[in-house]
Amino acid sequence: MEPESLYNLLQLPKETSLPALEELPQGEKKKYMLPTSRKDPRFEELQKVLMEWINAELQAEHIVVRSLEEDLFDGLILHHLFQKLAGTRLEVEDIALTAASQRRKLEMVLEAANRSLQVQEPQVKWSVDTVFSKDLLATLHLLVALAKRFQPGLALPSNVQVEVITMESTRNGLKSEKSVEQLTACR
């Protein structure tokens, strides 16, 4: 299948809305991308390049990714992708049917990926919780790191930035902070 026609099958993810007060437990922090960032052409191009890369890598296994956050959250595709890229076999169940087993699988895959990427906890921009909760920003950080490590020649769009709002639930209510997060470096 031609890359362009393959891309036409892909659908970009839906927009994320900001949380209601009761959705964020006290003391918790969560990042949300602004809708304008999701519509940025470089951001859309980054998603397209990453989806095409994953689909090309896993084509022999008949795996097609249509949405990064919807298709990667349970660890199944990340498991196949990491094994192919790293040339290793992970001792995890192939099919995880329950949420608990999906989460366990994702945890094992991310532990192996983090070891391979040689990243430590403070510098990691993804976690089992964020990927499993379908956080597109965390998933993109993970995929960009994997691409840089295993496919350094992959033509990722340069200087992709997203505006995020970090919401924190405090005793006094919600506290928010706006910032810019870098997904890819400048060339």
The per-residue pLDDT for 15 is 44
Residue 171 is assigned to a structural domain of this protein: yes
Token representation of residue 119: 């990243």
Does some domain include residue 13? no
Q: Which two tokens stand for residue 112?
A: 């192996």
Asked if residue 7 is part of any domain, the answer here is no
Average pLDDT estimate for 63-84: 94
Range 82-104 average pLDDT: 90
Higher per-residue pLDDT: 136 or 22: 136
Helical segments of 73-135, H only? 76-86, 99-117, 128-132
Q: Is residue 139 part of a domain?
A: yes
| pLDDT tens per residue across span 127-167 | 999 999 999 999 999 999 999 999 999 999 999 999 999 98
**Does some domain include residue 57?**
yes
Structural domain including 149 reads: 21-182
Count CA atoms closer than 13 A to 51's CA, side-chain side.
26
Q: Please report how many Cα atoms fall inside a 13 Å half-sphere around the Cα of residue 50, on the Cβ side.
A: 28
- Alpha carbon distance 67, 37 (integer Å): 17
Evaluate whether residue 178 is within a structural domain. yes
Residue 15 located in a structural domain: no
Would you tell me how many other CB atoms lie within 10 Å of the CB of residue 47? 22
Report the mean per-residue pLDDT for the chain.
86
The CATH number linked to 83 is 1.10.418.10
Give CA–CA dist 35/160, Å, rounded: 15
- Into how many domains does the chain fold? 1
**Whole-prediction pTM value?**
0.83
Which has the minimum average pLDDT: 25-39, 59-73, 98-112, 125-139? 25-39
* pLDDT band, residue 105 (cuts 50/70/90): very high
- Within a domain: 54: yes
- Summarize the confidence of residues 112-138 as an average pLDDT: 91
